[in-house]
């Protein structure tokens, strides 16, 4: 078996075991242990949906306070990228996975590590390489000769926050090991399902596919990511400050946790209660439909992508201190949420068209709900800094 390139910074043992109990995936700070389910077994049916209770001013303020602390902590090492930090926090509070793509050296891994370091819980980093095997990620079943039983040893995916560094340097076979756990929060090994801790977030980084030694992520894998972010090169003044910070030893290694996984789990539940008016649901669907009918697009956004957009808009609105979604939230998120889900037509790709061009034309073409239709009366709003 190839070497497993894993950094365990959450207090557990490499390979997924936890100190004290020897069980895989028992996350700290409110995470749930890995609970096996027999093959073919189904989780208990969800309760019948009930009316969602509106958020109170105190709940919005709680969210604002925690979001401000995490945002300030992350921004102390990720300089000059406030919108990227806010989008990353949106992914965290929507419990959606993040894909950060950019050229080497612009802070992709720093952003991922800063998010993980800001939350007191279990997080692990996997350095993806061509020789990494699927079992190095998910875990393996081993025969214990002492008790003559098979025992499951969970891999580094059993953590609250998993950093998949340079994910597109691993083979497609290893990349696919994340498909099930990213969608269902379970890992199936030898016919037995094991639950990963909750909340569960994968923050993956990748280099542009044009670079040597990379494997393009398949569309099914890309669709599992809530958002795809880019950082870009910093401005001159910011880059000078980065140099000063590097000389002073500023890095995510010295960041302290400002919250825990229990609190993050609570904020995720609060984000799910953010009000979305029916006209905004229709607006999101019309945007997706426009991508499917666009002449420069071969495959448009799926219903899963529309769900991702509205879920991200709820968390994004709450990071802005609002308990309701407005059209501007959807506009701000359409590119990070939709762009990686589009497959362009061959002739459009040959002409240099990029998904962002298509989405900007879609936003211009689709009418925005009229004022008053998309807002609830008497909204709850507080000031928040991220």
pTM of this prediction exceeds 0.85:
no
Question: Do 375 and 313 form a contact (C-beta atoms < 8 A)?
Answer: no
Record the tokens describing residue 153, joined without a space. Answer: 């040893």
What is the side-by-side order of every strand in the sheet holding 192-195? 36-38, 192-195, 186-189
- CATH topology for 1-33+53-273 is Rossmann fold (3.40.50)
Q: Domain limits of the chain? A: 1-33+53-273, 274-386
Specify the 3-state DSSP secondary structure of 340.
Answer: helix
Task: Say what the pLDDT of residue 250 is.
Answer: 81
For domain 274-386, give the CATH superfamily.
Magnesium chelatase subunit I, C-Terminal domain (1.10.8.80)
- Beta bridge partners, 296, equal none
Specify the pLDDT at position 28.
33
Nearest to 158 by CA among 19, 38, 24: 24
Residues in the chain predicted with pLDDT less than 70, given as ranges, are 1-52, 209-212, 371-386
Other Cβ atoms within 10 Å of 227 Cβ, number: 24
pLDDT at 254: 85
Output the pLDDT for position 107: 87
Scanning the structure block, which residue is given the tokens 């040893």? 153
Q: Which residues contact 76 (CB under 8 A, 6 or more apart)?
A: 250, 255
Pairing verdict, β 161-165 and 123-127: parallel
Q: If 0-12 CB within 10 Å is exposed, 13-18 middle and 19+ buried, where does residue 236 land?
A: exposed
> What was the pLDDT predicted at 218?
82
> Is the bond preceding residue 199 a cis peptide, omega within 30 degrees?
yes
């Amino acid at each position: 078996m190839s070497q497993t390139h894993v950094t365990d910074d959450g207090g557990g043992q490499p390979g997924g075991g936890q100190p004290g109990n020897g069980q895989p995936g028992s996350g700290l700070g409110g995470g749930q242990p890995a609970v096996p389910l027999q093959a073919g077994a189904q989780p208990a049916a969800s309760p019948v949906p009930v009316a969602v209770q509106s958020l109170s001013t105190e709940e919005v303020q709680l969210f604002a306070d925690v979001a401000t602390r995490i945002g300030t902590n992350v921004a102390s090492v990720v300089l000059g990228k406030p919108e990227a930090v806010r989008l990353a926090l949106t992914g965290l509070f929507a419990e959606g996975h993040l894909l950060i793509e950019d050229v080497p050296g612009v802070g992709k891994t720093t952003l991922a590590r800063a998010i993980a370091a800001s939350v007191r819980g279990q997080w692990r980093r996997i350095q993806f390489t061509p020789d990494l095997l699927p079992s190095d990620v998910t875990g393996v079943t081993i025969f214990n000769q002492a008790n003559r039983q098979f025992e499951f040893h969970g891999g580094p995916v059993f953590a609250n926050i998993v950093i998949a560094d340079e994910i597109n340097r691993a083979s497609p076979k290893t990349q696919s090991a994340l498909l099930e756990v990213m969608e269902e929060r379970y890992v199936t090994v030898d016919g037995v399902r094991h639950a990963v801790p909750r909340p569960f977030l994968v923050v993956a980084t990748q280099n542009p596919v044009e670079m040597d030694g990379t494997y393009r992520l398949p569309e099914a894998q890309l669709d599992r990511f809530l958002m795809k972010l880019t950082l870009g090169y910093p401005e001159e003044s910011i880059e000078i400050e980065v140099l000063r910070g590097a000389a002073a030893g500023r890095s995510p290694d010295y960041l302290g946790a400002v919250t825990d996984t229990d609190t993050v789990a609570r904020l995720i539940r609060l984000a799910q209660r953010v009000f979305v008016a029916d006209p905004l649901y229709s607006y999101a669907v019309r945007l997706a439909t426009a991508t499917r009918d666009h002449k420069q697009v071969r495959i448009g956004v799926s219903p899963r992508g529309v769900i991702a957009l509205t879920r991200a808009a709820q968390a994004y609105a709450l990071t802005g201190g609002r308990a309701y979604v407005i059209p501007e939230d959807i506009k701000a998120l359409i590119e990070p949420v939709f762009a990686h889900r589009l497959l362009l037509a061959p002739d459009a790709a040959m002409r240099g068209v990029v998904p962002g061009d298509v989405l900007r034309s879609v936003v211009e073409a689709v009418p925005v709900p009229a004022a008053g239709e998309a807002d609830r009366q008497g909204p709850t709003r507080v000031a928040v800094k991220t």
